[in-house]
Amino acid sequence: MYTKRNYSLKTMLNWTRRYLYIFFLFSAIPVFLFKIIGWNWLHLPWLPISLIGTALAFIVGFKNNAAYGRLWEARKIYGGIVNTSRSLTIMVNDFITNEFSPKKYSDEELFKIKKRIVLRHIAWMTSLRYALRQMKPWERSHINNSDIEHMKAEGIKIHECSYTLKDELKGYLSKEEENEILKKTNKQTATLNLQSKEFKDLKLNKLIDDFRHMEMERIIVELFTLQGKAERIKNFPYPRQFATLNLFFIWIFVFILPYGIMNEFEKIGDTILANANSNNGQILDLVQYHIGENFVWLSIPFSMVISWIFHTMERIGEVSENPFEGMSNDVPITTISRAIEIDMREMIGDDENEIPKPIPVISNTQM
C-alpha cells in the first residue's frame, strides 16, 4: 500500500491509541502513589533518565534511517521495473518483424507473438508481487492489533490476500505454461526462463537477428537483477538484534520516564507554593497555592506525550523496514504493476476493451 496524503494527527492517534492507554497507566500510577498514598520517596533523578532519552533518540534515529533506506530502495527497484518493462515493449514492437524471416508473417500473427511476450511479462510481475506479499516470521503487521485496526479503518485490503496466484495468472499464460510455472518453487524465475526461451525461438525462426536477440536477453538479465534486489529486501530483514533491543530500550524508557518527570514537576510546584506563602493570602495567592499543591499531576500528560513521541517513531521505523508487507505506506507494487500492464498493452496496440482499468484509490491509498 501507499498513501498519497500526509497522515493527520487524528490518524496517528487512532493508529497508536492502544499504546496511549498504556502510557496513561505508566504515567498516572506513580503520581497516584506519590501524591495520594504519600510515597514521597518514589522518584528518580532526572539526569540519568535524560541521558537514556538522548541515547535512545540516536538509536531510534539510526533505525528509522535504515528503515527508510530499505523503503526507498524498494521503490527505486520498482521504478527500475517500470523503465525496463517499457524498454522491453519498445524492443518487442520494433524488433519482431519480417525483416530477416524467410517466411512472411501477417500483421495479426506478429501481433499475437508480441502480445504473448507482453502477457508473459505481466505474469512475471504478478508472480513477483505474490512472492513479495508472502508473510515472513519477522513481519508483524498482520498480527499487530493496531495495524489491523488501522487497515480496517482506512478500508485497505491487500489484493494478493484476496485472490490466489492461479486466479491472477489466468489469461496471461497458456495452460501448459501456467501449470509449469505453478509447480516451481520460484515462479517468477520460471516465468523469465520461459520468456528467454521465447526469445531464442524468435531468433531460430529468423524473426530477430543475433544483435536484437542479445538486446532482448539483456532485458531479461536486467529483470533478474531487479527481481534479485527485491527478493533480497524481502528475505533479509532489518537485523533482529537491533530491532529487538530498540523496542526493549523504548519500553524501559517509557516505564522510568514518569518517575523523573514527576520529581521535576514536584520541584516546580514547591517553588510556586513558596511564592504563594511569601505573600499576604490574597485570592490570587490562594489560586497560586492550589496550582503549586497539585502541579505534579501535570507530569501525567507530559509523560504521555514524550512516551508517545518516542514509541511512535519506533513504530514508524518498524512498519517501514518491510516495504512489501502491505501497510498503507509500503511500496504500492499492485498499483504499479497494473499501471505497467496498461502501458505495455497500449504500446503494442492491444484492444482497449481487454486492457484492465487502473486499480481504484481507496481512502486516498494505493495498494
Note down pLDDT in tens along the chain; length 367 residues: 333 444 567 777 788 888 999 999 999 999 999 888 888 888 888 899 999 999 999 999 999 999 999 999 999 999 999 999 999 999 999 999 998 888 888 999 999 999 999 999 999 999 999 999 998 888 877 777 777 777 777 777 888 888 899 999 999 999 999 999 999 999 999 999 999 999 999 999 999 999 999 999 999 999 999 999 999 999 998 887 777 888 899 999 999 999 999 988 888 888 877 776 665 556 556 677 777 778 889 999 999 999 999 999 998 888 888 999 888 788 999 999 999 999 999 999 999 999 999 987 765 555 5
Q: Report the alpha-carbon distance of residue 136 to residue 10 in Å, rounded.
A: 30
Q: Sign of the CA dihedral 363, 365, 366, 367?
A: negative
Bridge partners of 170, per DSSP, are 173
Neighbours of 131 (CB within 10 A): 20
pLDDT, position 3: 39
pLDDT, position 362: 60
CB 365 within 8 A of CB 156: yes
pLDDT, position 283: 53
Bridge partners of 2, per DSSP, are 366
Bridge partners of 362, per DSSP, are 365
Number of domains in the chain: 1
pLDDT, position 359: 84
Q: Which structural domain range is residue 305 located in?
A: 2-366
pLDDT, position 16: 84
